[in-house]
Amino acid sequence: MSRTAELAAAALEAAAAPREIAVRARGLVKSFERGSIVALDRADLTIHAGEAIAIAGPSGCGKSTLLNLIAALDRPDAGEIEVFGTSLRSLTRKQADLFRSGTIGFVFQLHNLLPHLTAHENVQIPMVRAGISAEQRVSRASMLLDRVEMSHRVNNLPPTLSGGERQRVAVARALANHPRLILADEPTGSLDTRSGSQVLDLMRQIQREDGVTLVIVTHDLQVAQSASRVVHMRDGRITDA
């Protein structure tokens, strides 16, 4: 068999091989205020490992609620949710903490850096929990800040950074514990167009290079287009998964 044919066969085999499921949600229901507000109404979603997916929809459609369930920050009222084969419904609170610490990287809309800690220290925060040695924490935080082109601002406190810079630090923090899944909740919501675009490019680059799964929640269709797949939500349901 020629070299070209070998490569083609390998590609076909890879395409035919079952892809690992990163997130599998089935019939998720979540309501608030004693059922008067239904945030998720039998939502179904499957996300494959290594995928960059955007969940788009208007405010109040249940995007952030879905993200919180994927992150094990909250529990569904009904339905099943698995992340990399782990059923989140069965996790104890402590197991959920460990799961988040080891599997999930968060990027919030408002960066959510701790204002009294430097950029470098903010990146170390998830690692303090994860039992990583002090030396490793320092070197990994430095490497991550270098990767997001913030190595010149390591000792700056968040209030002295621009919005785009803060979000870059937040991206570095999300990567601290080698997550397999990065969840970004309106990551460009508080940024100008240029900074927002740079942050999206950065997250996509990291997703491709590290092979991590990226889930972006946004109401902005332009931001959603930066992902390789877009699913839409309306009234607590995925309309086109």
Q: Where on the chain is the footprint of another protein (CB under 8 A)?
A: 68, 71, 73-74, 93-94, 97-98, 100-102, 104, 106, 108, 112, 114, 116-118, 120-121, 124-126, 128-130, 134-135, 137-138, 141-142, 152, 154-155, 173, 177
CB of 167 to another protein, least distance (A): 14
Provide, rounded to whole angstroms, the least separation between the CB of residue 172 and another protein. Answer: 12
Shortest distance in whole angstroms from residue 130 CB to another protein? 7
Query: CB-wise, 74 or 220, nearer to another protein?
Result: 74
- Which lies closer to another protein via its Cβ, residue 38 or residue 138? 138
DSSP string over the chain? --HHHHHHHHHHHHHHSPPPEEEEEEEEEEEETTTTEEEEEEEEEEEETT-EEEEE--TTSSHHHHHHHHTTSS--SEEEEEETTEEGGG--HHHHHHHHHHHEEEE-TT----TTS-HHHHHHHHHHHTT--HHHHHHHHHHHHHHTT-GGGTT--GGGS-HHHHHHHHHHHHTTT--SEEEEESTTTTS-HHHHHHHHHHHHHHHHHHT-EEEEEES-HHHHTTSSEEEEEETTEES--
User: Nearest distance from residue 45's CB to another protein, in Å?
Assistant: 19
What is d(CA 29, CA 66) in angstroms, rounded to the nearest whole number? 9
Read off φ and ψ for residue 138, nearest 5 degrees: -65, -45
Q: Which is nearer to another protein, 37 or 134 (CB)?
A: 134
Nearer to another protein, 64 or 197 (CB): 64
Task: State the minimum distance, in angstroms, from the CB of residue 219 to another protein.
Answer: 16
The distance of closest approach from Cβ of residue 174 to another protein in the complex, given in angstroms and rounded to an integer, is 9
Tell me whether residue 97 or residue 149 sits nearer to another protein (CB atom): 97
Q: Which is nearer to another protein, 135 or 240 (CB)?
A: 135
